[in-house]
Amino acid sequence: MADTTLSKFRGAVALAGDSIHILVRDILKRALPDSSIPPYDPSFGYHARLVGEDKADTRHLHCVGLGGNQPAAGQQLRKQLGLPPKHFHITLTLKDDHDMDKSTPSFDLLDHLAFTLQCFGDHTEAQTYSVNMVALAPENPKGFLRLADAALASNTFKLAMLSYACAYDRADDPKLRAYCLKKLIACSAHTEWGAVFQEEEISQIPTAIVHLLVAPWSPALRQALAEEAPTPSLMLEPRDSLFIPKSVESSARFDKDTLHKLPRFFRWLIPFRFAIMSTPRHEDDIHALASPALGIRRVLTLTEETPLYESCRAGTVAACYMSACGFKHPTYERTQPELPASDAISLLRSLRPGSIETSQQEAFVHKWCSTLWKRQSLFPELPSEPLPCPM
């Protein structure tokens, strides 16, 4: 770079000259025509700043020549002046923010890389840079949003769902929250709600940020999902096992050994409000239901010691609830069932194969639905109380 000089520039010490201009010109020629990058301007003083005016006294510094092939010469110069190393750059506009992070792992650069890779369809590589964004700024929703979009595009739906949830909980923009909510519902067609994993989904989660992804969802997000009342469409086979994290703390591992296997037939009917499952096997199952991953506080069981007859299975209760309320919360204002009994039974069977297997169960659900129609209320009348009497 014999035609490059070390000179004073706006009070700073910088590299300037024809080589810098040629480098900028060649780079700008490769820019897309519709990009926001400014065009090459030969009259602009392109330069690479070495030492700022606020870092060293340059009044008595005179350039007598620049030559040789000393590796990292710029860093060597700063070291001789007692200054820390810096990432050198060439300013392309009059707006030159010297305080902006220009290092390779900077958040803005990672964001640009992730977005560009996503545009080019390289979703796997985009996920890698998005994970780095999350690790660098875990409270910023943008990293989670980039990770979620890349994961959704590559059909890793569990990673996408957990990332959209993290983005929602960190976002202030109502439009961004609405976008995340829409994508969460789209993901629910392929994966169970929250940190409930099918076995093949466990490997989707990056270990470096697993403690962020499996953290409990906020009450605001859970309430928003309840108000949306999405109709479940995920179909799982009875033999499919589901797992939840034993802990939400940071860990160097995330595999089956760090997860708890849920009882068979676990399904959310209303996300984080109403779930159905087979009989808990032992005390650990109850602890798992009450864990932050699920947050279940009330368990209704139809068994005391051993399972009852087939006509008393939990699927019957689920079908009765779906007939009365659909996938919404019960209200005292509702005067008629949400679904006909036959529709509730068919829908439950599609979501949870093996439910409502006997004619007795079907008859009970139909009778329940008929009772609701007759009394014009989801709830029975309150029992009469005796008149007050003197103490």
Higher pLDDT, 313 or 270: 270
- Give yes or no for a contact between 262 and 286, defined as CB atoms under 8 angstroms apart: no
Mean pLDDT of 21-47: 71
Assess whether pLDDT exceeds 60 at residue 68. no
The closest of 229, 244, 326, 318 to 277, measured between CA atoms, is: 318
| Class of 107-262 in CATH | mainly alpha
Assess whether pLDDT exceeds 60 at residue 204. yes
Coil vs helix vs strand at 16: strand
Mean pLDDT of 35-53: 72
Spatial CB neighbours of 2, under 8 Å, sequence gap ≥ 6? 66, 67
Q: CA–CA distance from 237 to each of 32, 187, 312, 322, 353 (Å)?
A: 49, 18, 21, 20, 7
| pLDDT at position 275 | 87
Q: Are strands 12-17 and 48-51 parallel, antiparallel or unpaired?
A: antiparallel
Spatial CB neighbours of 101, under 8 Å, sequence gap ≥ 6? 107, 108
Banded pLDDT at 209 (limits 50, 70, 90)? very high
Most confident of 36-45, 202-211, 226-235, 263-272: 202-211
The pLDDT tens digits for 343-383 are: 999 888 888 887 888 888 899 999 989 999 988 888 888 77
The pLDDT tens digits for 163-194 are: 999 999 999 999 999 999 999 999 999 999 99
Supply the DSSP string of 169-202, one letter for each residue: HH---HHHHHHHHHHHHHHTTTS-SSS-EEGGGG
Banded pLDDT at 90 (limits 50, 70, 90)? low
Mean pLDDT of 185-209: 95
**Mean per-residue pLDDT of the chain:** 82
Banded pLDDT at 51 (limits 50, 70, 90)? confident
Residue 98: phi and psi, rounded to 5, are -75, -15
CB atoms within 10 A of CB 53: 15
| pLDDT at position 227 | 86
- Give yes or no for a contact between 319 and 348, defined as CB atoms under 8 angstroms apart: yes
Q: Which two tokens stand for residue 335?
A: 């005067």
The β-bridge partners of 17 are 4
| pLDDT at position 317 | 86
Mean pLDDT of 241-251: 84
User: At what angle are helices 157-170 and 141-153 packed, to 10 degrees?
Assistant: 160
Most confident of 88-102, 275-289, 302-316: 275-289
Assess whether pLDDT exceeds 50 at residue 311. no
Assess whether pLDDT exceeds 50 at residue 310. no
For the chain, what percentages of helix, strand and coil (3-state, to nearest 5) are there?
40, 10, 50
- Give yes or no for a contact between 267 and 277, defined as CB atoms under 8 angstroms apart: yes
Supply the DSSP string of 39-81, one letter for each residue: PP-TTS---EEEE-TTTS--TT-------S--TTHHHHHHHHT
Assess whether pLDDT exceeds 90 at residue 219. yes
pTM for the predicted model, two decimal places: 0.68
Domain ranges of the chain: 4-80, 107-262, 300-379
**Any idea which residue has 């010691």 for tokens?**
305
| pLDDT at position 301 | 74
Residue 181: phi and psi, rounded to 5, are -65, -40
| pLDDT at position 180 | 97
- Give yes or no for a contact between 332 and 379, defined as CB atoms under 8 angstroms apart: yes
pLDDT over 90 percentage in the chain: 31
